[in-house]
Amino acid sequence: MPKPTKGPRLGGGPAHERLLLANLAAALFTHKSIKTTETKAKRLRPVAERLVTFAKRGDLHARRRALAIIGDKSVIHELFTEIAPLVAEREGGYTRITKLGFRKGDNASMVQIELVLEPVTPKVKRSSTSKAAPAAEPVADAAEVEETETVEASEPIAEEETTEAAAEVESDAAEKADDAAAEPAADAEKADDAK
C-alpha cells in the first residue's frame, strides 16, 4: 500500500483529493493548459504524466487504467489519439509549470500548468577528441563539385598567390618592427629638446 502524504489532503479527504486531481487532469488534457494554485499543480503533475505514459503505450489495458482514473471517455479518446502521438518521442517531462504571481483574494501562489507538445530536438553527441572540429557541410549540386575540381587543378597559381601574400605580411611585420624601434629614439630626442 502506498504511504499517504503527510498533512492535510487537497480536498479534505483522500477520495475527494482523487476526484479533484482527476478533474484537473481532464481539464488539462482538454484545454492543454490550465491556471491553478501551485500546490494543486505540483500534486497534479505526477498524475498527468502517468496518464500520458499510459496513452503512449496505447494498448487496451492502458486505456482501461486511464479510464479508471478519469472516467470521461471523450477526454481519454483525446489523450490517446491527439496528445500521445505528439509526445511519442519525448521521454518524460510532459508538463510545464510556470509561476504567475499571487491571487488577489487569499494571496495563494498561482501557476499555469501546460502540456509540453513541442517536438523534441535531439542532442548532438560529441566525442571528447572532436569537440572543436566543425561539421562538414554537404555538397548540394554537381556544379559545385566541378568548381572545386577546377580550383584543385590550378593549385600552382594558388601557391604563388599565397607566397606573395606571405611576403607582404613579412614586409609589413618588418616595417612595424622598424617603426617600434624608431619611436624610443624619437622620444629621447624630444626629452633632450625639452631640457
Asked if residue 111 belongs to a domain, the reply is: yes
Residue 44 confidence (pLDDT): 94
> How many domains would you assign to the chain?
1
What is the residue range of 111's domain?
A: 14-115
Of 76, 79, 72, which is closest to residue 94 (Cα–Cα)? 79
User: What digits encode the pLDDT tens for the residues 116-152?
Assistant: 999 888 888 876 665 554 555 555 555 555 555 544 5
Is the four-CA dihedral 163, 168, 172, 177 of positive or negative sign?
A: positive
- At 80, which CATH number? 3.90.1030.10
On whether residue 129 sits in a domain, the answer given is no
Residue 152: inside a domain:
no
Residue 23, amino acid: N
Q: Is residue 139 part of a domain?
A: no
CB atoms within 10 A of CB 53: 15
Give the predicted TM-score (pTM) of the model.
0.60
Q: Is 147 part of a structural domain of the chain?
A: no
Most confident of 74-88, 155-169, 177-191: 74-88
Give the residue carrying C-alpha cell 470521461.
Answer: 72
Q: Is residue 188 part of a domain?
A: no
- pLDDT at 23 (0 to 100): 96
Secondary-structure breakdown of the chain: helix, strand, coil percentages, each rounded to the nearest 5: 60, 10, 30
| Residue 21 is assigned to a structural domain of this protein | yes
Give whole-number Cα distances, 126 to 90, 123, 133, in Å: 21, 9, 10
Nearest one of 82, 83, 90 to 121, comparing CA atoms:
90
- Contact in structure between 97 and 28 (CB atoms under 8 Å): no
